[in-house]
Amino acid sequence: MQFPRLVRLLSGVGIAAALLVAVFVTRDRWMTAFSSTESDSHLADAPPPAEQPKVLKLSPQARKNLELIAKPAKPQTYWRTIQVPGEIVDRPGRSDRGVTSPAVGVVSAVHAFPGDTVRPGERLVTLKVFSEYLQNTQKELFSSNKEIQLIQEELSRLGPLVDKNAIPRTKIIELENQVRRQNALIQSHRQDLLTRGLNPKQIDQVSNGQFVSAIDIVAPPQIDKQEHLVNIQQSTFLNGNDSDEGFAFEVQKLDAELGQQVQAGQLLVTLANHSALYLEGHAFKRESPFLEKAAQSGWKISVEFSEDEPQLWPELDQSFEIRYLSNSIDEESRTFDFYIPLANQSRAYEKGGDAFIVWRFRPGQRVRLHVPVQQLKDVFVLPSAAVVRVGPEAYVFQQNGDLFNRIPVQVIHEDRLNIVIANDGSITPGLYFAQSAAASLNRVLKAQAASGMRADVHVHADGTVHSSH
């Protein structure tokens, strides 16, 4: 009885051991199946992955807060440029004029001071003349005039005698030749006195024996009436004609003091007229091919003026082209200069009966010069703030009522102000795109997506939900 029971016990232990071995051997299979079933169960319970947001909705108030403006996109031609720093400088021979003493003398009066406005012909300084040469010239002019009077009297006395054959006619011819010689001397002396600062009225006085001991130094005329400042826009002092009547100087520096003795040719007053200036650019040698090409082709240069308030001045209606490039390099900065003509603007005000000029552009003012180097055709140009970058992606926002669609685009060029986008079909011409606040729009889009609210759907009155269209 005990033997069969032992056999059954041993058989049960063997079966259990075999099952354990089988489980151990096949553990990879049943554990994989179990984990797969568990994963499928978790995936079935987990929500579907969130779709990347592409549309956001903004209220009219939000658009006003962002100062958001949308404009239609239009393919156009864009010039790729390089930016070169520069400044406004005086134009040599045009902006500043030095007035010198025509003779040796002492400054007896000063009529114009720094900041004053003077027109051509107005008095600057009065000199008491001590020049021996000037005094001798006046004496020679007076003597020549008196000599002519004496010769004329002699001709009047001898003329009737020649008619009566009392004296030979050669005597009359000799006297007439003397008159011609004296007239030539008078003309020479008058011209000499004009160059010494005397006016025609004073010269006539000298001819009558009233010698001049003091001369007025006056403001000079325009340099070149035919070419000077043709395109200048001045509201008060320049009237657009080519006469001296509408032209004015500003006294920039007074180099003479009252009672000072001055020599012939000594600088007395420095006058300025900033109506014709230069934009001086500072470029490196590696940029010279671009500048040379722009100068040869006559390409227009775009200029940014620092510290300028264009809303307070008339529109600057002029184009900027490179006039010439310097052929020397600065030893310290290792740059070379190039020059662009600038026609200035001004206005005037009166104080205490005196008139003063205020110029829009002034020497020393900084500028940025955008020199064209390459033409890009059939592209879209948007302001820099109209594009947002997320890693390698670049996006713009198309407006559709209250909705803004985020659209990926390809950027082919960008600078400080503009971004150039390829016309590859991502942007449809004629549709409206945001011109600014792209970074803010992208943040709002992410915030709306994080909140779970979809901006591209709306609910109808019957409870149905539809996508935006």
pLDDT per residue as tens digits for the range 327-346: 999 989 899 999 999 999 98
Task: Quote the pLDDT of residue 360.
Answer: 92
Q: Is the pLDDT of residue 43 over 50?
A: no
Mean pLDDT of the chain: 80
pLDDT class of 363 with cuts at 50, 70, 90: very high
pLDDT class of 93 with cuts at 50, 70, 90: confident
Please report which helix (H) or strand (E) contains residue 174, including its range.
Answer: helix 169-195
Same domain? For 251 and 108 the reply is yes
Residue for token pair 């670049």: 394
Same domain? For 209 and 119 the reply is yes
Please report which helix (H) or strand (E) contains residue 450, including its range.
Answer: helix 438-450
Task: Quote the pLDDT of residue 240.
Answer: 35
Which of these, 275, 276, 287, lies nearest to 370 by C-alpha position? Answer: 287
Range of weakest confidence among 237-241, 249-253, 296-300: 237-241
Task: Give the range of the structural domain holding residue 294, as residue numbers without chain letter.
Answer: 83-92+275-374
Task: Quote the pLDDT of residue 454.
Answer: 55
Both tokens of 190, joined, read: 């008058």
In a domain, 50, yes or no: no
Same domain? For 364 and 304 the reply is yes
Distance between CA atoms of residues 448 and 53, nearest Å: 8
Task: Quote the pLDDT of residue 456.
Answer: 52
Q: Mean per-residue pLDDT for 376-390?
A: 92
Most confident range, picked from 226-235, 419-428, 446-455: 419-428
3-state secondary structure (DSSP) of residue 208: coil
3-state secondary structure (DSSP) of residue 295: helix
In a domain, 240, yes or no: yes
Domain-ending residue, one of 235, 250, 271:
271
Task: Quote the pLDDT of residue 90.
Answer: 92
Identify which has the larger pLDDT, 3 or 339. Answer: 339
Same domain? For 135 and 223 the reply is yes
CB atoms within 10 A of CB 324: 10
Most confident range, picked from 25-39, 51-65, 157-171, 254-268: 254-268
Please report which helix (H) or strand (E) contains residue 79, including its range.
Answer: strand 76-90
Both tokens of 352, joined, read: 């205490």
pLDDT class of 166 with cuts at 50, 70, 90: low
Same domain? For 411 and 444 the reply is yes
Distance between CA atoms of residues 196 and 101, nearest Å: 8
In a domain, 347, yes or no: yes
Same domain? For 113 and 244 the reply is yes
Same domain? For 308 and 259 the reply is no
Q: Is the pLDDT of residue 236 over 70?
A: no
Q: CA gyration radius for the chain?
A: 46
- In the chain, the number of structural domains is 4
Identify which has the larger pLDDT, 143 or 232. Answer: 143
Distance between CA atoms of residues 357 and 248, nearest Å: 9
Same domain? For 107 and 200 the reply is yes
Same domain? For 337 and 447 the reply is no
In a domain, 420, yes or no: yes
Distance between CA atoms of residues 148 and 183, nearest Å: 8
pLDDT class of 234 with cuts at 50, 70, 90: very low
Q: Is the pLDDT of residue 140 over 90?
A: no
Domain-ending residue, one of 271, 286, 303:
271
Q: Mean per-residue pLDDT for 27-47?
A: 53
DSSP annotation of 19 reads: H
Same domain? For 281 and 211 the reply is no
In a domain, 290, yes or no: yes
CB-based contact 437:68 (threshold 8 Å):
yes
CB-based contact 317:122 (threshold 8 Å):
no
Which of these, 15, 36, 82, lies nearest to 288 by C-alpha position? Answer: 82
Q: Mean per-residue pLDDT for 95-101?
A: 88
Cα–Cα distances (Å) from 121 to 76, 206, 219, 220, 248, in that order, read 54, 21, 5, 6, 10
Same domain? For 29 and 67 the reply is no
| Domain CATH for 320 | 2.40.30.170
Task: Quote the pLDDT of residue 245.
Answer: 53
Range of weakest confidence among 48-57, 68-77, 170-179, 293-302: 48-57
Q: Is the pLDDT of residue 89 over 90?
A: yes
Distance between CA atoms of residues 434 and 69, nearest Å: 6
In a domain, 366, yes or no: yes
Q: Mean per-residue pLDDT for 8-20?
A: 66
Q: Mean per-residue pLDDT for 259-286?
A: 91
Q: Mean per-residue pLDDT for 265-279?
A: 91
Most confident range, picked from 11-15, 141-145, 430-434: 430-434
pLDDT per residue as tens digits for the range 283-318: 999 999 999 999 999 999 999 998 888 888 998 889
Same domain? For 139 and 183 the reply is yes
Q: Is the pLDDT of residue 37 over 80?
A: no
Residue for token pair 């470029």: 283
pLDDT class of 22 with cuts at 50, 70, 90: low
Domain-ending residue, one of 318, 345, 374:
374
